[in-house]
Structure 1
Amino acid sequence: MGKKRVMVPAADVDLSAVKYQNEAIQAPHLTGLKFKLFVKLLETPLIGPLIISHLKKENKMIELLQNTVIPEAPMYRPEYPPQESETGVVVVDEDGKPEDRVELAMKCLPPYNAASSWNEDLASSFRYWKIRDYAHAYRSKFVTPSMVAEQIIPVIEEFNKKDPPMPLLISFDAEEVRKQAAASTKRFEEGSPISILDGIFIAIKDDIDLYPHPSKGATTWMHEVRPVKEDAISVSRLRSCGVIFVGKANMHEFGMGTTGNNPNYGTTRNPHAVDRYTGGSSSGPAAIVASGLCSAALGTDGGGSIRIPSSLCGVVGLKTTFGRTNITGFQTLEISLSLTLSWCYNDVVPYMIFGTVEVTGPIASSVEDVMLVYAAILGSRPEERISLNPSPPCLPNLASRDGADALGSLRLGKYTAWFNDVQSTDVSDTCEDMLNLLSRTHGCEMVEIVIPELQEMRTAHLVSIGSEFINSLIPDIEDGKGVRLNYDSRTNVRLFRSFSASDYIAAQCLRRRLMHHHMEIFKKVDVIVTPTTGITAPKIPSSALSYGETDLQTTGYLMRFVIAANLLGFPAISIPVGYDKQGLPIGLQLIGRPWGEATLLRLASAVEELYAKPKKRPASFYDVLKTK
């Protein structure tokens, strides 16, 4: 085999010999004019390919993809063995009406205590208003959806006018919001609200179709080549529940970044510190929830893009199992609505942006609100039920003692060396404290695990997401749209175009190996626990506002723990568990077995309940549910 490295079959890997290697990404950190010049060099014939080849060699990508024999057959999208049923759950009819599923989810929640919710002094004990708080206020005629809309609209307009701009929304129509709010107000006046989500304000990430808003994917041109003709399935399901959509939330261009930096429209700022990033790519959705303006938002997650900003902004973000949500029709720019490998058509050109790694999921300030929105949008399409053989969707019965008892039987897997590979021990120590509290309170068993081939997983994910991205956009790039992308997107385009067909196949062979390793781990544990990110919200360099930036070291910290859920399609959730010494939020990530959303939601709810310290009021927070 010459100088090629030959990997042993995945089943024969000796876990006792696995040594954790700290990730060290070799790439320059550039902003401003230096970054602009660097991209020009990348796009120069002869010079550009040499730079890309050097960077790939320094990061051992060539060695792994071209000089390694991988014995496994390729796995072109996640494939799972049949899974055991979860305990203490309620099965959901995914073919039923979304409003009926939301009603069922309501019955799974503990009783609503209006006195407790409304007698708290928010000035001394900060908390977010929950969806059930809004519903109670509407039904009790404390406020109306129209009154709340008039609190939200001027704030959105104010953000759009800031200098430099830092918009939460890319597309916003105040009169459309007023129209939706008036219709909801009328339903409450008539005593006929559609569901608990009626009158709830939700933002939609700019890569998910929300008619009649354009879907730009934060670019300056995607809406020119692909008009929006109808809602995405997830959006239509929420609309049928009476949701009020405020508009299209800001994001990193095409979702190809982890910070949320956006020179096209302005960079959304972290509500906890406006000089910090929100995380990406669902920057706008996480920030608008953290700021109190919306109860929830829909984001997309192809490489942590829901969980990273949720962690950095101190809110809850759920990435569902690959295949859990129906994707009929063209639904997002990053993939067809939510999950699975799918070709999605407009009138002319098919798009499949991040087809085998991407999902749509909810972001909210609490686990119960995430659960309500998740109940509305879930449901696989018939074809996926045949090919993926999913377990029936379930919700945890949080109102039942049996559900609480189920926590004690959970085994939580922790790879300590990986868990502690963070920039600041504030992150790992805070997450460790929560896990210890879980064990003491509920009896959850902590199990030490080893996850082999983490570097291989990072490479396989990069090649998979990059190849699928570039495959979708080649026609537009060749048609001259490539030069209209941001400089960081253009950097990614040059890297992704360097991947060959054999690189992609090698990545899919690695995917099968990694699936084997993780399914073996899930024979021993129910949930894998990690920090969500290895760093809290990074500062925004002023020089990055105009031209963007490339900082792969920071990207490495932000993505350190999130990739397995994307490459292998597992469900995962991020829950806030504290703050670092600078007062910036820290998130704990739970990664579950395939189709194990109910277990994650139950455990996340327990984590949320155990977090006894008062939450910090974000520096940029708006109480839009004013009743006095």
Structure 2
Amino acid sequence: MKAAEIVLRDASSMAEAVRSGVVSAGDLVQASLDRIAATDVRVNAFTDVVRERALRRASQIDQSLASDRGARTRELPLLGVPFAVKNLFDIAGLPTLAGSKIEREATPARSDATLVRRLESAGAVLVGGLNMDEYAYGFTTENSHVGAAHNPHDLSRVAGGSSGGSGAAVAAGQVPITLGSDTNGSIRVPASLCGVFGLKPTFGRLPRTGSYPFVSSLDHLGPFARSVRDLAAAYDAMQGPETPGPRDPGCAQRSIELASPALGHGLHGLRIGVLGGWFRERAQPEAITAVDAVAQALGANHTVELPMVEAGRAAAFLITNAEGAALHLPDLRTRPQDFEPLSRDRFLAGALLPAAWVARAQRVRRLYAEQVASLLDRFDILLAPATPCAATPIGAEWFELHGQRLPVRPNMGVLTQPISCIGLPVCAVPVWGAHPSLPIGVQVIAAPWREDLVLRVAAALESAGVAQAPVAPL
């Protein structure tokens, strides 16, 4: 079998092909690079391709397999698998762009981000950096500096954001695994619109060391993949406390709690609720249809309300504006013309917020988290739409919802923001058939530190054929 065919499979199949000698790591990585070269002129997922580094790393893997270290190397779970990262992750030798013009002038990173190193330690091979909204402030990845990331399932539509390049690269079959960040929904929104699986772990689960921050008290990092097995493998490889040295102060430093072994445990004993109210009122019919299909497959017939959800989202807005602005104040004062206009204006608004409002927002956030925790004592899993609609056309400013015209950019995160605000683990699963031609995602939500549950449910939905992530027929 040719590497060009194997590279369109999931990561676990790729690793097995390298492990068994069906294909070399070098040939597999070359096939990924070739597909990027052939498709990215249309998708625009990548901002950097580290070709020489990737081929050198793949060659090292092949040499190790042929040496007396081969048995140990064969055990690596992501052996030879190409992956890419949102360009707010440090990549040694490159400036960490964070989707901006300003950071192009930054000193190149001296080392890779912690999560990049961990994936490479598991055998994966980094091939590049990915397009995103400037400073992660957006939901569509219509980046004016490098151009919009295009949805591989319909190139005229957005890929979502702010990790749009991460979602698009997986959907396009360029790589099977990518990393993104999620502050208010920036993993789940692209996963929903691009039709791939995305995991936002519990806040503090994975270290953020070596990534450009947006809102430190809300930022999460996590993977995208075309299968739940791959998502769990990447997540498991990135877990664990950080060693002495520079550390993420928000990392919980928890011991590794593997999720992969739970994927086949099924649904027995799980108490599953479907979020109503806010989550149905702010969703188009296709988003509700997707949730209903998932609920039916899971046998979930309890509709529940998330308490204080509107207040929680309002708190998230204020905290995002204020913390995000504080990070960029020097550049806002001296070079405002180098920001994208929309992100600049949002940062300026955040800089003017009264401190008392922000303090109150944090108090509301804590009370909201306590209320939701009580609900999660009654339910193991909650279901909700990931986005209010399927992917909108690139350049569209508005979409229709129940007869109202709503602005696209702030409202693509209307259903994700109340969940990330309190740091819950969520897997976005892609559902087809609710919209005539596009995917739309459903959030599978659990209590803190129960990533094993959301991945277990996602695996059951994938096995049942309800959630699927096919490569886009570019």
TM over 0.5: yes
Contact 2:397 2:408 in 1 (8 A): no
SS of equivalent residue, structure 2 residue 138: coil
Q: Distance in 1 between the 2:34 and 2:7 partners? A: 22
SS of corresponding position for 1:356: coil
**1:496-575 mapped onto 2 (5 Å cutoff):** 496-541=350-395, 553-575=407-429
Following TM superposition, by how much is the alpha carbon of 1:427 offset from its aligned partner in structure 2, in angstroms? Answer: 1.8
Aligned in 2, Cα 1:448/1:543: closer, same or farther, shift over 3 Å? closer
Secondary structure at the aligned position of 2:441 is classed as strand
- The correspondence for 1:479, drawn from 326, 334, 339, is 334
Distance 1:312 1:458, change over 3 A: same
Give the aligned residue type for 2:330: P
Residues 471 and 226 of structure 1: CA distance in aligned 2, closer, same or farther (over 3 Å): farther
CA apart distance, 1:516: 1.7
Q: Which residue of 2 aligns with 1:133?
A: 13
- Structure 1: gaps spanning 5 or more residues: 1-117, 335-352, 440-444, 545-550, 621-628
Work out the CA distance in 1 between the residues paired with 2:361 and 2:191: 28
Secondary structure at 1:409 match in 2: coil
Give the corresponding residue for 2:31. 151
Aligned counterpart, 1:255: 136
The answer on whether the counterparts of 1:169 and 1:250 sit within 8 Å (CA) in structure 2 is yes
Equivalence for 1:204: 85
For residue 373 of structure 1, the aligned residue among 234, 253, 270 is 234
Matched residue, 1:416: 276
Distance 1:450 1:364 in 2: 30
What secondary structure is seen at the aligned counterpart in 1 of 2:59? helix
Matched position secondary structure for 2:472: coil
Is 2:99 aligned against 1:218? yes
CA deviation after TM superposition for structure 1 residue 537, in Å: 0.6
Indicate conservation of the 8 Å contact 1:577/1:611, yes or no. no
Q: Quote the Cα distance in structure 2 between the aligned partners of 1:296 and 1:510.
A: 36
Return closer, same or farther for 1:252/1:429 CA change in 2, 3 Å cut-off.
Answer: same
**Higher alpha-carbon Rg:** 1
Map residues 303-452 of structure 1 onto 2, 5 A cutoff. Answer: 303-327=184-208, 329=209, 331-334=210-213, 353-381=214-242, 393-395=257-259, 397-398=261-262, 403-404=265-266, 407-439=267-299, 445-452=300-307
Equivalents in 2 of 1:521, 1:372: separation in Å?
30
Q: 1:491 aligns with which of 340, 345, 358?
A: 345
The 8 Å contact of residues 316 and 574 in structure 1, kept in 2 or not, is answered as yes
- Partners of 1:391 and 1:564 lie apart in 2 by 27
Secondary structure at the aligned position of 2:448 is classed as: coil
Q: 1:128 offset after TM fit, Å? A: 5.6
SS in 2 for 1:397: helix
- For 1:521 and 1:494, the matched residues in 2 are separated by 37
Query: What is the rounded CA distance, in whole Å, between the counterparts of 1:253 and 1:593 in structure 2?
Result: 31
Mapped partners of 2:470, 2:253: distance in 1: 43
Identical amino acids, percent of aligned pairs: 26
SS at 1:579's partner residue? coil
Q: Is the 1:127–1:615 Cα contact (8 Å) retained in structure 2?
A: no
Residue 114 of structure 2 corresponds to which residue in structure 1? 233
CA distance in 2, matches of 1:311, 1:613: 11
CA drift of 1:377 comes to: 0.8
| Structure 2 counterparts to residues 33-48 of structure 1, below 5 A | none
Q: Which has the higher contact order (CA 8 A, sep 6+)?
A: 1
Instruction: Read off the aligned partner of 2:425 and give its amino acid letter.
Output: P
The answer (yes or no) to whether the contact 1:128–1:365 under 8 Å persists in 2 is no
Q: TM-score, normalised by structure 2?
A: 0.89
Q: CA deviation at 1:362?
A: 0.7
Give the distance between the partners of 2:35 and 2:251, measured in 1 at CA.
46
Amino acid corresponding to residue 289 of structure 2 in structure 1: D
The DSSP-based 3-state class of the residue aligned with 2:205 is coil
Q: C-alpha offsets along residues 207-244 of structure 1, whole Å, 9 cap, x if unaligned?
A: 01121222101111214245311111111111222211
Supply the distance in 2 between the matched residues of 1:316 and 1:386 (Cα, whole angstroms): 25
For the 8 Å contact 2:430–2:468, the answer to whether it is kept is no
Q: Counterpart of 1:333 in structure 2: which amino acid? A: Y
Match of 2:308 among 453, 456, 472: 453
- C-alpha deviation, 1:381, in angstroms: 4.5
Residue aligned with 1:237, SS: helix
Q: Is the 8 A contact 2:313 2:417 kept in 1?
A: yes
Paired letter, 2:234: V
Aligned equivalents of 2:442, 2:199: Cα separation in 1: 12
> Alpha-carbon deviations, 1:230-270, whole Å to 9, x = none?
11111111122221101111111111000011111121111
TM-score normalised by structure 1 residue count? 0.68
Shift of 1:408: 2.1
d(CA) in 2 for partners of 1:387, 1:179: 32
Question: How far off its partner does 1:358 sit?
Answer: 0.6
Please name the residue that 2:127 is paired with.
246
RMSD: 2.8
> Alpha-carbon deviation of 1:555?
3.3
1:111 is aligned to: none
For residues 174 and 387 of structure 1, do their structure 2 counterparts lie closer, same or farther at Cα, with a shift above 3 Å needed? Answer: closer
Q: Distance in 1 between matches of 2:223 and 2:430?
A: 15
Cα separation, partners in 2 of 1:323 and 1:617, compared to 1, 3 Å: closer
Per the TM alignment, residue 175 of structure 1 is displaced from its structure 2 partner at its CA by 2.1
Residue 542 of structure 1: CA displacement?
Answer: 8.3
1:488-515 Cα deviation digits (max 9, x unpaired): 2122122212212111101101101211
5+ unaligned residues in a row in structure 2: which ranges? 399-404
In structure 1, the residue corresponding to 2:407 is in which secondary structure?
helix
Q: CA deviation at 1:392?
A: 6.2
**3-state secondary structure, aligned to 2:139:** coil
Q: Does 1:605 align with 2:459?
A: yes
Indicate if the aligned counterparts of 2:7 and 2:31 stay in contact, CA closer than 8 A: no
Q: Deviation at 1:459? A: 1.4
Give the total of aligned pairs: 458
Q: 2-side partners of 1:386 and 1:153: how far apart?
A: 35
Letter in 1 for 2:56: K
